[in-house]
Each structure stands twice: as C-alpha cells, then as structure tokens.
Structure 1
Amino acid sequence: MGALLLPSCKKVFDVTTESTLAGEQTYRNVYDADAAVLGVYGKLLKLARPYVLLNELRADLMSPTANADLYLQQLSNQNVTVDNPYIDPAPFYEVILNCNDVMKNFDIMLAEKKMKQDEYNERYADVASVRTWVYLQLGIHFSKDTKGIIGIPYVTDPLATIQDVKDETKYRWLPFQQLLAELIKTMESLPTLEMYNSAASLMTTVDQYRTEKFFIMKKVLLGDLYLWNAAYDPSSYNKAATAYRQIISYYDDKGNDNTKKNYYKLIGAPDPASGNQLAVQYVRYRESDINALYDSNTEGWRSMFSRGKISYDQQFDWEWIWHMSFSSSFEPKNPFIDLFSNINGSYLVKPSQQAMDNWNSQTQYNGFPFDARGNFTYRTIAGQPVIMKYLYYYMDGKTFVPTINTNTRTGEWWLYRAASVWQHFGEAANRDGYPKLGYAIVNQGIKTTYTPPNASSNVTNIQQTFLPAPYDFDARSGDNPQFRAIYRDMAGLRGRASLPSRPLVGDSTIAVEDMLTDESALELAYEGQRWSDLLRVSIRRHDPTYIAARVGAKLRKDGAGNAAAAEAKLTAGEFYLPFKWK
C-alpha cells in the first residue's frame, strides 16, 4: 500500500485548477480513490490563509501591522470592497467542485465494484464532510452578492470549471438558514460518521507526517451545524451537545485508565513534578517563581502547539482532533510564517491590543497578574508582538531563532482540539437548560463544581452531574469507598490555565454564555474560531451589538479612525462580505 500510495503524493497534493485526468485513468481501484481524497485535502490546505484571516482579522483579537496592505486593513476595519483579493470565493469553490467530482466518481466505482462498500462509505463520507465544512465557512462570511441576491451559490453537481459556477442556471442561491438545513441533511444521510478504520489504507505516513488526524472529524462538524441551527430551532442544542459528547467520550471505553481519563478530557496536572501535562503549571516547590513556568516543546500548555510533529506523541493526541500539516515537499507551502513572523516573514498581522489586554487582565492562582496562555500565544520579538501558535515548528520558542530552513516552511494548520469541542459543548448545554454544567466547563471542571461546600470524604453521591444524556458526567475521586471515575481530572478551561473561577452574576444562562465567549478569546485565539463565536451569539440573541461592541473596542484601542463607523455597520446587522466572482 505504501509503495502504491506514496509515489503519487506529490501529484495529488500539487494540483492545478484545470489539470484533471479522465475518470478511467484516475479511478481504477482503492489506491486511486485514496489519491483522490488526498487531492481534496491538498486543495483544502489552500484555504488555510483565508480561513484564519476571515475568522480572526475581522473579529477583535487580531490587527494588521504597519506592513499590511490596504486589503488586510479593510478586513479589520469592516469596510471591505468587492475587489479585495482576500474575499475571493473561487478558492472555496475549487474545493467544492473537486469534492463534487470525487463523490460522483466514487459512486461509479462502487457501482462497478472497484471499491468495497466499507471503503466507499469511509471515503465518500470524508469528502462530503469536507465539502460541508467549506460551505459552512462560506455561509458564515458571505450572504449577499453584488446584485443583491441573498445567500451563496449551492453547487452539488460536478461542474467542470469555476467558470461553470458563474452560470447561475446550474445551482441555487441559499441564505444561511436554508444552507444550514441542506448541510445538516447531507451530514445526517452520510453512510458513516465514524473516522477511518485504523486498518484503512489512508491511515499511513505521508512525507513523515501521520495522517491519523489529518482528516475531518465528522461528528464535530455535525455538532457545529446543529449549534448554528439552534438559533432558528432550539431543539438543535441537544443535538449539538449529543454530537460533541460522542467526541468527548470517544475513548471512554477504549484502552487502559490512562487513555480513558486523558483523551479529550481537558485534564489539569495532578502531579506538577511531571511537567508533561497540557496545562499551565510551574515546577513543584517553585510555584511562586515566574521563571519556573513550564515553557518547552514537551511540557506545559504551549507544548500542544509544538509537539507531535512527526513521531507518535500521546499527549499531542490527547488534545488534537483535526490538524493539517504543511510539507516541505508538496504544495501548498505553509502561509503562516510569512503572515505572522517578523523574522524572515512579512509580519502582516499581530495580536490586537484588546487581545493582549484580555490576557493581562487575568490573575493566576499564584498571584501572577497575567494569563500565561497569552505568553505562549504571542511573544514580543524585536519589540513587536508576534502571534506564535503557528510558529513553534519554525523557531525556538525562547530564543526566537529559526530552527528550520526558511525555504522548508513546514508547519501546522490548527483546526479542532479538545478545548474547542468542550467550549462548544458548554455553549450548547448552557442554552439547553444546564448553565451549571456550562459553568463547570468554563471554570474548574465537573468534580470541583459538583462538590458541595463542606462535603464529606464519601463522594458516592457528589462529584457527578446526575443529568440525562448527553450531560451525564461522573467525576468522582475518593476513598472509603474508592472511586476513580473517568472525568475526575477534567480541570475546566480556566482550571487547566491555572486561573480561578469567575463569579456568576445576574442571569445564569446569559452570564455563562458570556463567560464561554470570553474564555474562547483566551484559550482559542487565532485558531479560526473567533468571528464564528461572536456572530453565532449575536444571531442567537438577536443582538448585533454583541459583535459590534467588541470589534469597535479593538479598533479604538488600535487607533483606527473608523471605529465608530465599523461599529455602526455591524450594529445594523451588516455582518457579511460582498460575494463577487473575480
């Protein structure tokens, strides 16, 4: 299998828009099908740059630098013109058309018995999910074309070229709510929502990169679709939480106790001496020493962005659910070094002052007046704040000296991890009538939150939620009698960051939702979540000021002259980018 697949990898990743072979030449067997799947992901990698820019620069945590061109400034300032190259929908539709073509040919292969049913199920569902994810991104950012048509083109036929997409007789225009309904219907009808079987031929190593988490996690995507749809149909909150819970609990019945309690569980650091948990922590007996913070490629919270690059790394897998690797051998090249780095890069965007203030307004348990996640998410290099989450494979995290040849430009596109799934699960649980569970997730975890004050040492009837599925969690850890439940070390988002709980004030549902959104800014900054989080809450509350106020605050702190105009535009509900074919 390796001998058949690997020689074709250069070809399937380095695909030009119009270069396609006839089906009889490329869809002969399952290895050709694998090459087609990898080709889809090769095209998907080209969306990494617009994905991060549209979801972060448009929101409140990222700002353009003095090196940024007019068009990047437009994204930040909410005054985007139709000629802005960063909003060109064509690259998104190239992926979609590729998916449509592959799905059509997979149907033919199955009918002609060139693939077994289980081989077809996995590959067809994977490609369909990629198409769904791309459509979700289009729906989040685009809604009206320059002719005033509401919605985006929804194309499911294998059209030959992007030019064909411009023929409006070949598809429907769907507004966001209708688009969500179509996407949910697609996902619910897939032949499988499971990941590739560990024995599948696509579970391999390509250019020294493990492919295990290279492929989209379908249930997380389905959860996101339900979470968006819940603004229109509140019953979808429970559906979203159910989908997310299946990911959170994926390892609950697999492997030994270490596997069950660690995978996707947001664990803290029960033994600080180990220094190898994915938590903000300090060397034992030096907790009051600011220099004792675990800060390396293999220890502490920031190590999740620098470990596990090539060889198997168990703790990397505890956190990461979907990430894609840029190779030194295949196109496209990693765009993030040029985007973020001020060493051999163009340094075009940086953390906003608002983002830095968010981290610096926190106080850790040990009294240090900052959130250490901020120290790991950005660094000051040569007097300039530099976003670092995408640069730890490129440069040393302490000396900032590049550790790889600048022409190599390997790296990662971070997409889904345990923290993002828990954050969205908490959002759904809170709106489904369980704000205490949402509070536990954002703060200190289930065990602490569900332990009453002055509780006895007998934990039989505490430290668990006693809620119906999917909200039933057991986090008991006690002796006499002894309990060691799977969720006992789940520390919560702030607990894992060594931060105390936030006080609950006012309406619990609204307050917890605000906490979750605020915590997302601290935990998930620059991972492509921010605009979506703010927009989703604004739509849910019918309150455009929710997103408008935060973007306006960023622009004012950045000294942007149009802060008032940008805030007014968003307050009027003008969230979407103009849709125009170049």
Structure 2
Amino acid sequence: MKYKKNILMLFFASSLILTSCVDAKVEEVLEYENHYQTTADADNAILGVYGSFMRLAEQMVVLNELRGDLMDVTTNASQDLQEINLKRTGSDNKYADPTQFFTVIQNCNDILANFDIMYKSNKLTKDQYNERYSDVAAMRCYVYLQLGIQYGNVPYITDPIVSIEDVKKYSESDKIGLDELIKKLITCMEGLPTLDDYVNSPLVQYTLDGYELNKFFINKHLVLADLYLWDGRYLDAATQYRKILATDEEKGAAENNDGYKCRGWVWKDGETPNTFQVYYIRYMWDDLNSYRNSWCSMFQLPAENDVAKCEWIWTMSYDKSFAPTYPFISLFANEGKGTYQLMPSTYAVDSLWENQVQKNGFKFDGRGRNSSFKQVAPGQYVVQKYLYNYDSSKPFEQQGRLFLYRAGLLHLRYAEAANRAGYPKLAYALVNQGINGTFKWDNVGNDSIYQSGYGPGKPYPAPFYLDGRNSDNPYYRSPWRDNAGIRGRASLKSVEFPSTCTTTNDSIQFMEKVILQECALETGFEGNRWGDLVRIAHRMNKEGRDGNTFLNDNLKKKYQIAGEALPDYSSEDKWFLPFRFNN
C-alpha cells in the first residue's frame, strides 16, 4: 500500500497548496485512513485531483500542438521535444510517457470508490455525492479521451489499484481501441448522477486565494458532447452543446445575449469594448490606423472578470505563489526564465493567419498577429497566448492560465455537429458572419427578422434553432441578435460555398474542412489541433474516404517549410504514440 499512499499524498498536498478555504491540517493528511471522513475531506480530494491534472497541462499542450501543424521546435528545443515533433520517441521521452495521465486517472478511481463508501455510510448526502462524484468521473473521462487521442490503444481501468506496475500489467493484455474507449466513456457519462455544474458545494461558493473556482471545474455537458462528436452521434452532440449555448437566454433583454454568444459590435472612437473582437472604429473601416483588437484580451483578463466569463467555460489559473508551477513560460518565452523551445510554425504564420482577408481587404488575421503569436525578430515568432501575464523583468513570478474550453471552441464544435447532422447552412453562419448576418428576411412591416432556418416562420428544429431577431415593431430583443460569427468577430470575409457544392453532402464535406481550418485560426496553441485532425481523418476513413492522405496533406506543409521529412502517417496504426512507460 506504500505506493498508493504516495499517490494520495501527491494530491492531498496539492489541495493544501491550492486552497485555504478547506480546513485541513498537515498531520491530518499524513495517514490515508483518516481521510474521507467529512465533506471537507472530499473537497480536498477533488482539489487534489485537479492539482494533479494541472501537472499534466504541459504534456497535453505539447502533444496536441507540436504533433500538429501549428507549432514547431526552435533550435533550443530539448531532445524530447525534437523527438515528439518528428515522431521518433525514445524509451525515456517524458512527453510520450503515459504515467501522468494514469496518475490523474488512478487518483480519480480512488476518490470515486471512497465517495461510494462515504455515501453508503451517510458521510455525504445524496446531493453532495451527486455533484462531487459526477465531477471526478467526468475528469477521468476527459483524461481518458486525451489518452486515447495520443495512444490509440490504451488500458481502461476504473477500479482503484496500488501502483503503476499494476497499470503495466493491464497494458500488456487489456488495451482497447479508440472507438471502444469512446463508447465506454459515453456509457460512464450517461450514467452520472448529474451533468450540471456545482451549485451547493463550498468549492464554488467562495474565492480561494483570490480566485473564483466557477470556471475551474470541468463542464460535463461539453465532455459528453465531445464524446458524442467522436462517436458520430451528431444530434446528441448538438443537443449537449446547445445546452451550454443557451446560457443567459432566459434572462431579460439586457443580458440574454451575453453568455457564450460570440458577440460583435460597432465601436466608436474612445469606447471601451465589452466584446472580444477584431474591429475598426466606426466610419473608419478602411483606415488601418483605426484598427483595434479586443479579441486577444480574453487571454489577458482574469477568469473572474465579468466580460471574460462570457467567453471562458473551463480555465485554470496558475498563481506565482503556489504549486504547481506554470509550465509555459519556459517553453514559449524568449526572455527572462523562458528557454524558447517551441514556436509557431512558419507554415501556420504565413499560410494560415497571415493569409486571411479582412472585410476591408487588409490581408492578415488579427487573431494571429500580436494575439496568438508575436514577432520578436524577422522570421522569429513566439507563442503569445500563454505569456500575457508574464513580466520578464520579474522572471520568478511565473503565472498564467490553462485554456481548456471557451465560447469560440464551443461554436465551432457545435457547428461541426450541426453540419454533420445535415445543417451545413447553420454551420456556415456560425463560422462566418453569425445568425443575423446569414438568415435574414423582411416581414410585412419591413422589420428584419433573424432566425436559423430556411424562411420566415420556418425555423430549424431544436437543437438547431437560434433566434437572432432584433426589432422595434414588433419588439424583439432575442438572444442571438449580436452573434457575429467566428470570422465575423475577427472582421474577416466569409468562406463561401464553391460552385462545386451542388448537393447537401457536398456542402457538408466542404464545411467540415472549413471548420477544421477555422479551429486552427481561432484556437491555435490551446491544445486542440491534434485531436481535431485525428477526429476528422478517422471519420473519413470510417466513411470510406481517405483520411490517411487527408492527415498527411494537413501536416506535410509544416515539415516541408521546416526542411524536415514528414513522419509516417500512412495508416491509422501509425498515427499514435507507442504506449509504454518510462523505465
């Protein structure tokens, strides 16, 4: 039992570092049998498993971005990073080692087993148990999905075990493939006591060391929605995404368009925007001097900011005073404590972000230049998203955020589900200029109405109906009235259907690729790229299309420009990392 106690000490110690509101003394956490007696113990365990997850952040971002086409190594890169980039991992590569994934998973397994015991012995009420059990189980499902995306075939273990050595025994004979894993995770998520966020727990009722934890915990509807998307259950996925998109819709007209609506607005000179967008001052559309960018402020504002809350759904803050240490300064910064090992790929900068055309004809994407990346010398760029809160003059004060889920990603995932469910026009609207920029008719009174659908009074059915009406006669202030679309709020031209799209299926396949590219432009470096590429390529293979060539075509440009040979991705068994633990 010694190893098991060491794992538990890892996450209980993390919880003591993370929070000062859960009242626990050091001597009380030294012996395993003294835990799981009170709700405070349960909450300590939850914070601990999130602490262990925060230690996984560097590995997740590196694997999901460096294995894709948006990120590349610098000349400073470690041998481990170079191996990941070229898919030539040695037996001791720290980024290819699944140990930390299973540290989180096994912490979850132990907590869930003990929550069952606490509930049966009346140490947790039903409501207390439902919230806490569902949160931890959803975290386990999320980590398992990340594990499957990287390794393809993995052991699926839901019982508490003593050591990583036991995991190794499972890995020899009990691994399952990605498709089977996803179905098991769906079964788990569908069987949870609740998919709702914390309501009654002190975890979300108080601030911890100045941080609100409302956005700290996983969103279970989105975990289930993503799993449905991977499984090809597009209606189910859209239904779950729509539940989160409906945030604030039942509020009054002044607030019903706030939560996760990707709003856009025309701002006058001197006004302070409360939207995240790339824009030009009103009446100065063609003047580059009037260019403004509030889109990038979503990565600068604290998660507790009221405007930031309209974008961020799941994000974790790393504080300079507490463990774990924020891992991205060292990887990305070229000043202070930065070792500048990773950078945006030349392909991503030149062929993606800098190749976009704005509505006024200027050629660059404001979500790239001086937002997602920053040029520090001719041809030399840094990943900027993770560095906004870093002051190189105070190199030891390393803090920042882990970006896990936000409104932009939600819109694109919902668009992917809607597209595959047979609504490519709705996907087109969400990706481009939004609901009221796409669905527009004039009624008898010449009042414009905007509803997702195919004509006045004939809106799409749930979960694909989005009401964007904004009228004075009759009076409407509908929730989606300011929805600008993903490209619209970046002030970019729409990506139009080509003339070759003569059928709905043509449009679906076209929009699928448009959405994939827009995910790169909108969420680059945030830890989604490899999973997005694999999901689409895997789907194509299942449908009899050539997903292997598709994956190769998306990745090869990065390597060609960098003068490196493209790793072998010619079949699905070659997409994934070898599943092996470091010695």
Fold match (TM-score > 0.5): yes
Mapped to 1, the partners of 2:327 and 2:486 lie a distance apart of 29
Instruction: Give 2:301's aligned residue.
Output: 307
CA contact (8 A) 2:110 2:160 kept: yes
Instruction: Give 1:248's aligned residue.
Output: 245
Mapped to 2, the partners of 1:195 and 1:391 lie a distance apart of 29
Question: By how many angstroms is 1:570 displaced?
Answer: 3.9
Matched letter for residue 354 of structure 2: N
CA contact (8 A) 1:196 1:203 kept: no
Q: Give the secondary structure class of the aligned counterpart of 2:480.
A: coil
**Corresponding pairs, count:** 542
1:451 corresponds to 2:440: yes
Question: By how many angstroms is 1:69 displaced?
Answer: 2.0
Question: By how many angstroms is 1:187 displaced?
Answer: 0.3
Mapped to 2, the partners of 1:484 and 1:360 lie a distance apart of 36
Mapped to 2, the partners of 1:319 and 1:73 lie a distance apart of 34
My pick for the range that moved more, 21-30 or 258-267, is 21-30
Mapped to 2, the partners of 1:339 and 1:244 lie a distance apart of 33
1:430 corresponds to 2:432: no
My pick for the range that moved more, 281-290 or 130-139, is 281-290
Instruction: Give 2:386's aligned residue.
Output: 390
Matched letter for residue 442 of structure 1: V
Q: 1:42 to 1:432 in 2, by over 3 A?
A: same
Where do 1:62-81 residues align within 5 Å? 62-81=71-90
CA contact (8 A) 1:277 1:315 kept: yes
1:368-426 alpha-carbon deviations (Å, 9 max, x no partner):
2111111111001244200000110114xxxxxx36x3222111000000111110110
Mapped to 1, the partners of 2:200 and 2:127 lie a distance apart of 13
Instruction: Give 2:373's aligned residue.
Output: 378
Matched letter for residue 446 of structure 2: N
Matched letter for residue 67 of structure 1: N
Question: By how many angstroms is 1:162 displaced?
Answer: 1.6
Mapped to 2, the partners of 1:201 and 1:528 lie a distance apart of 26
Mapped to 1, the partners of 2:495 and 2:400 lie a distance apart of 35
Question: By how many angstroms is 1:456 displaced?
Answer: 7.1
CA contact (8 A) 1:458 1:478 kept: no
Question: By how many angstroms is 1:245 displaced?
Answer: 0.5
Within the candidate set 224, 240, 243, 1:222 is matched to 224
Q: Give the secondary structure class of the aligned counterpart of 2:323.
A: coil
Mapped to 2, the partners of 1:106 and 1:35 lie a distance apart of 12
Instruction: Give 1:189's aligned residue.
Output: 191
1:464 corresponds to 2:452: yes
Q: 1:169 to 1:365 in 2, by over 3 A?
A: closer
Within the candidate set 210, 213, 217, 1:211 is matched to 213
Question: By how many angstroms is 1:324 displaced?
Answer: 0.7
Mapped to 2, the partners of 1:435 and 1:77 lie a distance apart of 36
1:282 corresponds to 2:305: no
Q: 1:163 to 1:282 in 2, by over 3 A?
A: same
Mapped to 2, the partners of 1:257 and 1:44 lie a distance apart of 39
Within the candidate set 351, 357, 366, 2:344 is matched to 351
CA contact (8 A) 2:15 2:51 kept: no
Mapped to 1, the partners of 2:172 and 2:347 lie a distance apart of 45
Structure 1 unaligned residues grouped into runs of 5+: 14-18, 144-150, 231-235, 396-401
Instruction: Give 1:527's aligned residue.
Output: 526
| RMSD after superposition | 2.3
Q: Percent identity?
A: 41
Question: By how many angstroms is 1:327 displaced?
Answer: 2.0
Where do 1:550-565 residues align within 5 Å? 550-560=554-564, 562-563=565-566
Question: By how many angstroms is 1:201 displaced?
Answer: 4.0
Within the candidate set 419, 430, 437, 2:408 is matched to 419
CA contact (8 A) 1:457 1:479 kept: no
Question: By how many angstroms is 1:459 displaced?
Answer: 4.4
Instruction: Give 1:335's aligned residue.
Output: 327
Question: By how many angstroms is 1:83 displaced?
Answer: 3.2
Instruction: Give 2:479's aligned residue.
Output: 486
Where do 1:122-141 residues align within 5 Å? 122-141=131-150
Q: Give the secondary structure class of the aligned counterpart of 1:414.
A: strand
Normalising by structure 1, we get a TM-score of 0.89
1:171-206 alpha-carbon deviations (Å, 9 max, x no partner):
832111111111000000001100000664443222
Q: Give the secondary structure class of the aligned counterpart of 1:391.
A: coil
Matched letter for residue 304 of structure 1: M
Question: By how many angstroms is 1:362 displaced?
Answer: 1.0
Matched letter for residue 244 of structure 1: Y
Question: By how many angstroms is 1:6 displaced?
Answer: 12
Question: By how many angstroms is 1:461 displaced?
Answer: 6.0
Mapped to 1, the partners of 2:165 and 2:373 lie a distance apart of 41
Where do 1:107-126 residues align within 5 Å? 107-126=116-135
Instruction: Give 1:474's aligned residue.
Output: 467
Q: Give the secondary structure class of the aligned counterpart of 2:465.
A: coil
Q: Give the secondary structure class of the aligned counterpart of 1:552.
A: helix
Instruction: Give 2:4's aligned residue.
Output: none
Question: By how many angstroms is 1:165 displaced?
Answer: 1.5
Mapped to 2, the partners of 1:518 and 1:20 lie a distance apart of 48
